[in-house]
Amino acid sequence: MSILTKARVFPRPRPVVVVAAVAMLGAAAGATAQSVHHLAATPSTVAWGYYWAEAKPVLRVRSGDIVEVETVITSSPSRLEGAGVAPADIQPSLRAIYDSVTDRGPGGHILTGPIYVEGAEPGDVLEVKILSTSLPIAYGYNGCSGFVREHCAREGGMRILPLDRTHMVSRFSPGITIPLSPFFGSMGVAPPPSEGRVSSTPPGRHAGNLDNRELVAGTSLFIPVHVPGALFEIGDGHAAQGDGEVDQTAIETSLDGRVQLTVHKGHTLEWPRAETPTDYIAMGTDEDLTTATKTAIGQAIEFLEDEKGLSEMEAYRLVSVACSVRITELVDGKMGVHVMIPKSIFTGGPESTGGSAGPDTPSGEGSEYLAEVRPAGAAPVRLTVDSDHHAMALWMKRPQKPRAAILLLHGRTWSALPDFDLQVPGESLSLMDDLVGQGFAVYALDQRGYGETPRDDTGWLTPDRAAADAGNVLRWIQEREGGLPVDLLGWSQGSMTAQLTAQRYPELVHRLVLYGYPFRPGAVVPAQDDPGDPPRRATTAEAAASDFITPGSISRAALDAYVKAALSADPVRADWAHAEQWNALDPAAVTVPTLVIRGEHDPLAPQEANEALFSGLGTMDRALVVIPGGDHAVLLEKPRVYFLAALESFLVRDGA
């Protein structure tokens, strides 16, 4: 299901490339390549305080192109210095803009653009997919005015807040720490020509200064187009903000980002809408809060009528019982309200967020079994697959009509479930549920000696055996799913298994994801003698928690749940032998489309090793993504939204 439908809605977005904080891209032979543009913030590339149909574009792009954009803080160098910022910490670009730009107003925001998107015409919809954000300066400011300004002291003024970009927090005061969640407060297009030069302060149908804190990396904003080329502008960087933005400002800062601009033809929107990995968002703005609220609710009802075929009254009921009506902001002349429509409530049909139901199921089940639906959060189905006469435990969740399948391989010594299907009350940490929500039939394999797959007669697992098992399981999935394309994702040592599998069985792997890759290409592992009998080492709580490297990156409840699940799945660790078989790893032998992912602060997956892997790949259809703020377990941690956005953009870029 999309945030829009026919006549009022367009098909599901189809991103073609994936980028996050750092990315290097290549295009497959014969594929349509998207261009990547860089747009710096300079006196000649900003629109100071307005959205306008007659503004001259500073960049022209094609639909689907990516723009690396710089934006600057909306405050003067003199005010920042007066509040305590060292002169050396003022960006030269900000000084140049203040010194040179005289065409200003009627608003005060310094916006980068406008960008002309070829093919955009009035009546179309422009999708702005926020692929990544990064903070170029280590401070932001907060003013004091806004909705109830009597709470501001006379001497209050501007306060500078430091930004800890390593841990993505701002320390507000002793004992108070604010998590950073950067987003662009203002993203919009030119209004209709009849409206003239519109202030950058109030939001409207052209989007603009929405100040919607949900629009972080991994989300999309959909804006109705009013003039040829759309004339997109972006700015007003926020490091963090609460709903309402009640004192007029967030933690205002400079913000750089990568956005993908896609024109959807033949579809219309009355008001901007948005989509996050977990929710659809309907919006409304007006000088009157009641009117803004009614508009947002009406947009949510319209969406539910179009998409789910609900009557007006039943859609209204659903908004009341299942959706959240929130105040976006109260301080920009026009107040903003948005309605969060959770995707998790849609549990039937092709948008089902669950997999098949049933108990332990043998490998020979028929297609009637595959038609069943398991809601999100339920236990996965345990299947059994024969691999060279060894029974492999395979966990499954799937929607009713999957668009593709994916096999998940982990690198630890217990079951795949703590890694890929962690269930924590109040938190959404199941990668299996997320991928099912994207339309995948999801399978997670317990390798030999892991979880519910027993050890073989030797007691050891070897690289060759692991790759052969993965190949057998991929072949079995392909047959079971009726020839659907099957992707392969490996984490940590599982990424090494995944690479070896893709080298040896490329015909079985549609796309490959190597995440947390620990091996240095070209390294030589010395040959090992017969290892004898493996030790039976206990799995400890410390070992189970060792992938969570950055303090505070995961909630205490989630960490406890992970450790408990790992110890329960396999109290005795499995062991690898004949590590010299990893010498067969050869990036040049990988010819399938490949995404390489690592966390920014992951010592187990060195950056230089991942770059060497990426540059040596035998496929030109490849991407390298570094997840900002993440360590080795970003699929379960706070930078998770970036991880999910990277997966979605790469795996579903052509609709499959």
Residues 450, 534 contacting (CB under 8 angstroms): no
What single letter denotes the amino acid at residue 272? P
Task: Read off the pLDDT band of 168 (50, 70, 90).
Answer: confident
Name every residue whose Cβ is closer than 8 Å to that of residue 368 and which is 6 or more positions away in sequence.
none
Structure tokens at 635: 């699929």
**Is the distance from CB of 118 to CB of 126 less than 8 angstroms?**
no
Confidence category of residue 267, pLDDT binned at 50, 70, 90: confident
Structure tokens at 186: 């203002």
pLDDT digits over 104-153, tens only? 999 999 999 999 999 999 999 999 999 889 999 999 999 999 899 899 98
Once rounded to an integer, what is the mean pLDDT over residues 323-328? 97
Q: What is the DSSP letter of 223?
A: E
Task: Return the bridge partners of 335, or none.
Answer: 286
Residues 377-404 have a mean pLDDT of 88
Bond from prior residue into 106 cis (ω within 30 degrees of 0): yes
Provide φ and ψ at 650, rounded to 5°: -80, -45
How far apart are the C-alpha atoms of 462 and 446, rounded to whole Å? 14
Q: Is the distance from CB of 656 to CB of 228 less than 8 angstroms?
A: no
- Which candidate, 480, 389, 414, places its Cα nearest to that of 443? 480
CA–CA distances in Å: residue 46 to residues 58, 235, 308, 625: 8, 9, 42, 29
Q: Cis ω on the peptide bond leading into residue 224 (within 30° of 0)?
A: no
Domains in the chain (CATH in brackets) are 25-144+157-269 (2.60.120.580), 368-527+538-651 (3.40.50.1820)
Give me the pLDDT at residue 350, please. Answer: 36
Phi and psi torsions of 232, nearest 5°? -80, 135
Per-residue pLDDT tens over the stretch 81-102:
999 999 999 999 999 999 999 9
Q: Which residues of 513-542 are buried (b: 16+ CB within 10 A; e: fewer)?
A: bbbbbbbebeeeeeeeeebeebeeeebeee
Task: Provide the pLDDT confidence category of residue 1 given band limits of 50, 70 and 90.
Answer: low
Q: 493-504 and 463-480 helices cross at what angle (nearest 10)?
A: 70
For the chain, the straight-line distance linking the first and the last C-alpha, in angstroms and rounded, comes to: 15
Query: Are 80 and 146 in contact, with CB atoms under 8 Å apart?
Result: no
Nearest-CA neighbor of 21 among 218, 222, 238?
A: 218
Query: What is the C-alpha to C-alpha distance for residues 132 and 652, in angstroms, rounded to an integer?
Result: 18
Determine the pLDDT at residue 377: 55
CB 363 within 8 A of CB 354: no
User: pLDDT tens for residues 481-520?
Assistant: 988 999 999 999 999 999 999 999 999 999 999 999 999 8
Q: Do 396 and 442 contact (CB within 8 A), yes or no?
A: yes
Pairing of strands 36-39, 232-238: unpaired
At position 197, the amino acid (one-letter code) is R
Dump pLDDT digits (tens) for 268-309: 899 999 998 888 999 999 999 999 999 999 999 999 998 888
